[in-house]
């Protein structure tokens, strides 16, 4: 498929304005596009369960091997079983995670990204303080995200093992993948874009080159498509944005357009290999999905282990 023209920095403000949901669900709203997941949408999603087969698609890298030698996670055993004696004993441990970034599957709250000093629903960025977020925190999703999931297999569409970071996914490819898979989109769906990140890492040896992260993702031209389709949550095995961005200085316009303007939370670094294998095996690309972030008080996001149920 011929590569479409990519969006420039100069075109981004008009796109952000066009996809804005500020005020759509009221001045006090902190849930954004998750409002599209109504009880009826969740109940309908349950009809996707035919086999009862569950596939988890989250991961936490404890080694740092995904991208850099310095892991962003600290796992320390506080008590272990090596010296356990008679009777009761236990093991305990401590885990500390800098979950935003490229190592950990995580869910971005709507206070995670700012643009021109504002965050979702036209709130000032200053509401996120050194003590945490006074608005748009991850607590808005404490009841979880439960809806129909749709996976789009872009490497299969392109006939490649992975998406080249410098060849971002464009809207025509999203439509082409839906057609090739015989799949539709319904308002309130969670959409997962498979880019074959682990296959690229296996081929190149690292996610990093020249000191920069290289992962496949979407061009900003996909933002109006996501808005029009009524996508509730967007996820990928990459960063959702194609990195590094091929054109312009704005590094993560998909994050800005989705989180700040649409109010669409993002799932970054999902471990989609097992899920895409399950979909390919069945020639089935829709499923019941549940994403349950930790209700971190005033938090900007959460590590997650989402599940798909076929």
pLDDT per position as a tens digit, 250-279? 999 999 999 999 999 999 999 999 999 999
pLDDT tens digits along 135-146: 999 999 999 999
Among positive and negative, which fits the CA dihedral 110, 209, 151, 270?
negative
pLDDT of residue 280: 98
Q: Are 69 and 87 in contact (CB under 8 A)?
A: no
Using the predicted structure, report yes or no on whether residue 113 has a pLDDT greater than 80: yes
Assess whether pLDDT exceeds 80 at residue 81.
yes
Whether 240 contacts 222, CB under 8 Å: no
At 62 the pLDDT is 62
When comparing pLDDT for 97 and 252, which is higher? 252
Top-confidence range, 11-25, 72-86, 207-221: 11-25
Q: What is the pLDDT of residues 19-67, one digit of tens each?
A: 999 999 999 999 999 999 999 999 999 999 999 999 999 998 765 555 5
Burial of 215 by CB count in 10 Å (0-12 exposed, 13-18 middle, 19+ buried)? buried
Q: Does the structure show a pLDDT above 80 at 247? A: yes
Residue 68 — very low, low, confident or very high, per pLDDT cuts 50/70/90? low
pLDDT at residue number 145: 98
Confidence category of residue 212, pLDDT binned at 50, 70, 90: confident
pLDDT at 188: 99
Instruction: Report the pLDDT averaged over residues 206-217.
Output: 90
In this prediction, residues 9-13 reach a mean pLDDT of 97
Contact (CB, 8 A) for 97 and 293: no
Q: What is the mean pLDDT of residues 139-168?
A: 98
Q: Which of 1, 15, 20 is nearest to 248 (CA)?
A: 15
Are 169 and 160 spatial neighbours (Cβ–Cβ below 8 Å)?
no
| pLDDT at 69 (0 to 100) | 44
Q: What angle do CA 161, 69, 259 make, to 5 degrees?
A: 65
Give the HSE-up count for residue 273: Cα atoms under 13 Å, Cβ half-sphere: 11
What is the structure's pLDDT at 116? Answer: 98
Average pLDDT, integer, range 82-102? 92
Strands 145-153 and 286-291: antiparallel
Domains of the chain: 9-70+99-309 (3.50.30.50)
Q: What percent of the chain has pLDDT over 90?
A: 87
**Residue 2 pLDDT more than 60?**
no
Nearest to 220 by CA among 31, 19, 2: 19
- Name which residue leads in pLDDT, 68 or 178: 178
Instruction: Work out the mean pLDDT of the chain and round it to a whole number.
Output: 95
pLDDT exceeds 80 at position 1: no
Confidence of residue 3 (pLDDT cuts 50, 70, 90): low
């Amino acid at each position: 498929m011929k590569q479409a023209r990519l969006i420039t920095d100069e075109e981004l403000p008009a796109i952000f304005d066009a996809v804005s949901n500020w005020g759509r669900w009221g001045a006090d709203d902190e849930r954004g596009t998750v409002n599209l997941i109504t009880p009826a949408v969740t109940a309908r999603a349950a009809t996707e369960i035919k086999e009862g087969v569950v596939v988890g698609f989250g991961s936490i890298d404890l080694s740092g091997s995904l991208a850099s030698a310095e892991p962003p996670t600290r796992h320390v055993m506080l008590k272990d079983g090596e010296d356990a004696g008679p009777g009761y004993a236990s093991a305990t441990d401590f885990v500390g995670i800098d979950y935003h970034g490229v190592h950990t599957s995580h869910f971005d709250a709507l206070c995670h990204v700012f643009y021109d000093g504002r965050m979702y629903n036209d709130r000032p960025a200053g509401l996120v303080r050194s003590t945490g977020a006074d608005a748009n925190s991850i607590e808005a999703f404490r009841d979880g995200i439960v809806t129909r999931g749709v996976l789009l297999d872009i490497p299969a569409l392109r006939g490649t093992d992975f998406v080249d970071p410098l060849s971002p996914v464009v809207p025509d490819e999203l439509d082409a993948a839906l057609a090739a898979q015989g799949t539709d989109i319904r308002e309130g769906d969670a959409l997962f874009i498979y880019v074959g990140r682990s296959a690229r890492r296996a081929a190149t040896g690292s996610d990093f080159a020249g000191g920069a992260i290289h992962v496949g993702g979407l061009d900003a031209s996909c933002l109006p498509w996501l808005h029009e389709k009524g996508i509730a949550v967007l996820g990928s095995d990459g960063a959702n944005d194609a990195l590094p961005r091929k054109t312009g200085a704005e590094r993560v316009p998909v994050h800005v357009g989705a989180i700040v303007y649409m109010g669409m939370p993002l799932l970054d670094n999902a471990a989609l290999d097992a899920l895409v294998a399950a979909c390919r095996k069945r020639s089935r690309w829709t499923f019941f999905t549940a994403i349950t972030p930790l209700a971190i008080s005033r938090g900007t996001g959460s590590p997650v282990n989402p599940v798909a149920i076929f």
